[in-house]
Structure 1
Amino acid sequence: MPFPGHHWCAEARALSGVAASVTLTMSAQLALSAVETLLVARLGVAALAGVTLALSLHLLVFLFALGVVTAVTPLAAQARGRGDAAALRGLGQSGLLVGLLMSLPGAALLLAMALLPGLLPGDGPEAAAAGRYLLGAAWGLPGWVCYVALRSFAVATGRLRATTAIMLSVVPLHAASCWWLLRGGFGLPPLGPLGAGLAHALAGLLAWTLLILASRATSGAALGGILRRPFRPDAQCCREILRLGLPFACRILLREGVMPAAAFAVAPFGATALAAHAVAARITDLLGVLCFGFGDAANMRVGFAAGAGEAGQARHSARVAIQLALLSALLPAALLLSAPGWVAGWFLTGADPAAQALAASLLPLAAALLVGESLQSAAGGALSGLRDGRGPLLIAVAGSWGVALPLGTLLSWTGTAPVPFFWTGLVAGGALTAALSLLRLQQRLALLR
């Protein structure tokens, strides 16, 4: 007879397995940008500023395409749950086609920005460095997007080892190629920012190629089946992916765009304020990766249960995912609350003591924001598994752009401590987003039969 809590532990293991793999993959992708930033910084301030701008533009285009193809996960999970092999294969193949259709115009846009004068913001050496980086990185966008499309299918079918191993192996190869292409050697002249962009593109194409080879070697599995002939993407499956994926993409852009917009709101208060804000924002992003993993896990598990007609299991998976996401946020939040000065000093070693003190004052607010994001991420993932794209999109608009940024801006200009008051607005918007997401999830789960 199962011991008390047996079902909770079993579900926690299943969710944690998916979350760990997604978290490792996301961390590896973040490491690529970190490596490029560190290496380009050796070329000077102008090159670093230009590549930072180019990375932001590349990320926005990539995130939009990524948001669309991640709709493959809940759709394929529901098809797998109801045992529909034909729909599962069609969704996998259609996801790859949609990935190409979304990434090719994005790559063309990035190339146009790199080649046509006046399309990049700014001028001088910064704009030149940004253009050279985009000229190299744009060619890899289809590879990265198609990799995510196939990875989303792998999440739905529970085949995650290959995707995790591939990303972990790509990181050192990317670092070596970035160093070589950027600095030159072995008969190649130094390419500077262009070399960093080419290294990013090669990493995406390599990850995509390796995942194709690994998938084709998976005999008899759904993951390998979508790459075998006949390759016939289904128009209805493409429409379903776009119908669900476009709201996903808009929600991701709205959510990820909050911190860049916040930086513009904080900038008028000076370099010290902006540095402190940047540290708090970066810490929140880094520590929130695991919460994102549980959101992806909830997407798959809830979608599978809903497709199988197991309403009770869907509710159970959603509840456990929220609990695990919250637990994963509480430990780093406790660190930020108990030792804010140490954490800020580690990130701002050698910086102005005023910047360190201001950053330390923001970290308790960052801890509160992290807890809210953990709840929102898990609830949003479960809603995605239920194929609810419109509700989370409207909630993101209301919480982030209707409350967080306006309230933070208002408080910053009326309070005595502008940056902490601004972050108070961000925390309030995050709390509202989490509360509305949980309420929406409760309503949608109540409709399951």
Structure 2
Amino acid sequence: MEATLPFKKKSLHFGKIVLPILITQVALYLMSFFDILMTARYDTYHLAGVTIGSSFWVPVYTGLSGILMGLTPIIAQQIGGKRHKEVRPSVQQGLYVSILLSAIVFSILLLIGSYFVYKMPLEIQVQSVASHYLKGLSIGLFPLFAYTVLRSFFDALGATRVSMFIILLSAPINVVLNYLLIFGRFGFPELGGVGAGYASGITYWIVFCIAILIAWKRRPFQSFTLFSQWDRVSLKRWKEILLIGIPIGLSIFVETSIFSVVTLLMAKYTTEVISAHQIALNFASLLYMIPLSISMGATILVGQAVGGARFRDAKHYSFLGVSFAIGFSFLSIAILLIFKEQIASLYTTDQGMIALAVQFFFYAAFFQLSDAIQAPIQGALRGYKDVNMTFIVGVISFWVIGLPVGHVIASYTDFGPFGYWIGLIAGLLVGAITLTFRLIFIQKKYEK
């Protein structure tokens, strides 16, 4: 798709791909950000309920939707190799897979999720909000998964501005729906934190409808005729998607679920501690959008380069991804350490909770550098379709090292709830170092 560029121009090209992704990811994140922020302004118990509900929602959704992200390197390599006729069947089979995955998530959230919420040692009001928040989100499961497929198609073509446009158009709608349904304005029911769930579910339908119209009517996507000549379910293509997508999904699940498990383990602490932890995690997740976006850009550009047998270009884009992410990590650290009180006060006016959140921010700052190394390397490896090692390293670094170390520190030292963050920092560092060596190995393998 793209001819070999001089190294300096590669930097500009990388930036053009990544900037719309970053804006898209931030806008997507802002939906959950405003869920937390607006619910925090409504009531502390509702904030705790949304926090617990999100702890079930995030790992389950991101893990299974991550399977569909396997389409990005598949389509990127098809485009890079000029195999355009293979794109339509890949997208259609991806949509079939999305239907299956949305049904699985729906069952998990409504049956298993609600059951465990009511078994947790929480106030009854918090349990009720968490359970109904999950029900609200569930109405948008199918369009959200199907949109993930279409976004993978847009991004693999390098048209990352399309996803940016869609989310920028729909994010303000989500904020308005939050306002109407959380606080009960203009005749709408006052649902509190539960309203945030329904607002997100409705917004996902809007996002999906816009994506369909663009893929159907706009150039150059129209030429791929994605919605004509529908093929039957192809086990061969499902196998290709799942062999790449499942390790990606499991890797994402391993990473996101660890934070959710930590949040659930903190149920033994006070509601204030849970809320302060969520505030710090919520803002740290916003900063993580930078290395995550760079990671997604690396997958696209490395995938296109590998598909076109331009292995030197693939190596250059991998290097650029890590370099950009490390540079931005220092900015993230500075923001967390310098403006910690001001950031915490955006979420709450409770001085005790602000003081707790500020302490969590200190540990969140240490996440930034390790994330800056690990995330873009994961993206580059996915561009090479090397996905299994990322999953294995994630399991070891988070579950074998991070969580046990964190639990010991939290349970047997004076660090208390902060011990979990210390353990995760240690695991993240081990993962970043290990994946660095893996990328070097893969690059040498392709060069030979």
1:438 is matched with: 436
By how many angstroms is 1:314 displaced? 0.8
> Residue type of the partner of 1:68?
I
Q: How does 1:416-427 map to 2 (within 5 A)?
A: 416-418=414-416, 422-427=420-425
**In 2, Cα distance between the equivalents of 1:135 and 1:264?**
19
1:368 is matched with: 366
CA contact (8 A) 1:21 1:160 kept: yes
Q: Where do 5+ consecutive residues of structure 1 fail to align? A: 1-5
2:199 is matched with: 199
**In 2, Cα distance between the equivalents of 1:178 and 1:361?**
29
**In 1, Cα distance between the equivalents of 2:184 and 2:349?**
31
2:219 maps to 1:236: no
Q: In 2 relative to 1, CA 403–195 (structure 1 residues): closer, same or farther, beyond 3 Å?
A: closer
Percent of counterpart pairs with the same letter?
A: 25
By how many angstroms is 1:20 displaced? 1.7
TM-score using structure 2 length: 0.88
CA contact (8 A) 2:47 2:275 kept: no
By how many angstroms is 1:301 displaced? 0.7
CA contact (8 A) 1:157 1:223 kept: no
CA contact (8 A) 2:59 2:260 kept: no
- Pairs aligned (count): 440
Greater length-normalized contact order (CA 8 Å, ≥ 6 residues apart) = 2
1:20 is matched with: 19
Cα RMSD (Å) of the superposition?
3.0
Cα deviations by residue, 1:365-422 (Å, 9 ceiling, x for unpaired) = 4333211011100000001111112100011011111212222333344545445555
> Residue type of the partner of 1:327?
G
Q: How does 1:146-295 map to 2 (within 5 A)?
A: 146-184=146-184, 189-190=189-190, 195-219=195-219, 221-222=220-221, 225-232=224-231, 234-264=234-264, 277-295=277-295
1:36 is matched with: 35
Cα deviations by residue, 1:179-205 (Å, 9 ceiling, x for unpaired) = 334455666554555544332221101
**In 2, Cα distance between the equivalents of 1:296 and 1:241?**
17
1:408 is matched with: 406
Cα deviations by residue, 1:120-176 (Å, 9 ceiling, x for unpaired) = 444733333333333332121110111111101111111222211111111111222
| SS across alignment from 2:239 | helix
**In 1, Cα distance between the equivalents of 2:136 and 2:270?**
34
| SS across alignment from 2:391 | helix
By how many angstroms is 1:55 displaced? 3.1
**In 2, Cα distance between the equivalents of 1:414 and 1:117?**
31
**In 1, Cα distance between the equivalents of 2:235 and 2:438?**
31
Which segment drifts farther, 203-212 or 37-46? 37-46
> Residue type of the partner of 1:374?
A
**In 2, Cα distance between the equivalents of 1:336 and 1:143?**
35
| SS across alignment from 1:387 | coil
2:385 is matched with: 387
Q: In 2 relative to 1, CA 162–125 (structure 1 residues): closer, same or farther, beyond 3 Å?
A: same
Q: Where do 5+ consecutive residues of structure 2 fail to align? A: none
By how many angstroms is 1:348 displaced? 6.4
2:297 is matched with: 297
Cα deviations by residue, 1:289-348 (Å, 9 ceiling, x for unpaired) = 111000000111111111111111111111111111111112122344556566667666
> Residue type of the partner of 2:135?
L
Which segment drifts farther, 267-276 or 233-242? 267-276
Which segment drifts farther, 259-268 or 247-256? 259-268
> Residue type of the partner of 2:252?
I
